[in-house]
Structure 1
Amino acid sequence: MQQQPDQRRELGAFLRSRRARITPGQVGLPHTGRRRTPGLRREEIALLAGMSATWYTYLEQGREVRASEQVLDALASALRLDRPERAHLFRLAGHAPAAEAGEAEPLPADVAAVPLLLQPHPAYIIGGNYDVLSHNQAADELFPRLTAAADRPANFARWVFLEPVARDFLVDWELEARGLLARLRTLAGSHPADARFTGLIDELCAGSPEVRAWWPQYDVQVRHGGRKRLRLPGRGTVDFTYTAFHVAGQPEQTLVIYSEDRKTTD
């Protein structure tokens, strides 16, 4: 897959962010004097990855050079990337198929009906950019005002960061918000210059100081199931388990189903 200019710039920014979080002591290098920037120097990462400092600098500068999988493996090890970060690195470097840009994600009627069939369990289907493609009434009750805007698609990321009620309902708001933004970053890496992602990210940055602060940190994460604590009117804090399933033929579309843990606190 040929890299696009946006991907090369994103790759450089991602490499800089990962380099900045590593201290010399973590990789067994001596601390030599005062450093102008946090983390390791370019020359040090190049040394750890077994490559020339010039070549590594070209990658960070977003120049039109192509790194082999062997080089990327070495960089992933030197930068101490976890599995989602490594996959993100390979995508940005052009070693994984990027999804095509588009204005909407197709959702067959039979798939859209699945959340309705799962009532009373809260359930929804989200697209790659967290647009809510289908949901049931129980999900509306669990996440109030999720579908409030009449002039644009409901979007879970927009709800978390821009809808004030989200901070009341999500007990662990910051933890949930950081994780969602990291997953959005991962998916956006597969859609360079796609307006569905760039427009949403611009909107979130404009409306949320947290997004403006966290987005440059380049945290990445894959979608997964887990647990969520919600503060519900008249019930206090309720624990939920949620499970995520990828839609067949549309791997970036995810069906999410919630079940109550039956443990409530005031």
Structure 2
Amino acid sequence: MNRFQNKVAVITGGGSGIGLATARRLLDEGACVVISGRRKERLRKAAENMPADRLLVFPADVSVREDCDALIAAAIERFGRLDTLVNAAGMNLVGTLEDTTDEDWHKCLGADLSSVFYTTRAALPHLRAVKGSIVNIGSVSSLGGGWSHAGYNAVKAAVANLTRSIACDEGKNGVRANTVCPGLTVTEMVDAIMDDDALLEKAWERIPLRRAAQADEVASAVAYLASDEAAIVTGVTLPVDGGQTCTDGGPEWGK
């Protein structure tokens, strides 16, 4: 498929995990892609097998407004337009409310929520010009509470509602905004869970398909929502979770 031929996408968190899988998917479908992340060496390695003529690597800390502004400006300077913004940057935060320090709270808030706010605000004028799309990476935690992830649950829920607000405000400008909500996905963020048989057994009790998602499976959902095939779809929170959110409870991995 070439759903993104002659289109330009900016992907934060593009050096690993879901962001990297999404970058590869959109490149495969013809897009020009800008990948961003804090770790320069990781970005460099991610770019090694990507087509250089359709790729821009831009190191940035997207919890910082100035970096977000610079990222979008660089994309426009290189490719002249912006059709899709994928906010995939983020971090996990394990802990109850009492366990969570002020420092960890602000770090998670910056990485998972402020990054979406700053980058989207910078991108909006360019997305309006082409009636583009935004896909934010939330979580099953965007849709309900869970044990031992108080800060993360709160921030990811905010991502979903910010996305809905953008969809409401920008629909008149032809800009769509949607949230993909992965469940347990095989990335570095959940390595500790994937290596713990006891935790995995608890997970399978809550996931009807009894397996974790692969990053490229989540990327497929992102690509659909970003594409013209989803031209009438905006403001949705799409679970990509093996059925976890259709069960009668949330994740109990930390209980």
- TM-based fold match above 0.5: no
Tell me: higher relative CO, structure 1 or 2? Use CA pairs within 8 A at least 6 residues apart. 2
Structure with larger Rg: 1
- For Structure 1 versus Structure 2, the TM-score category normalised by the shorter chain is under 0.3
Q: Going by fraction, where is helix more abundant, 1 or 2?
A: 2
Normalised to the residue count of structure 1, the TM-score between the two structures is 0.25
Normalised to the residue count of structure 2, the TM-score between the two structures is 0.26
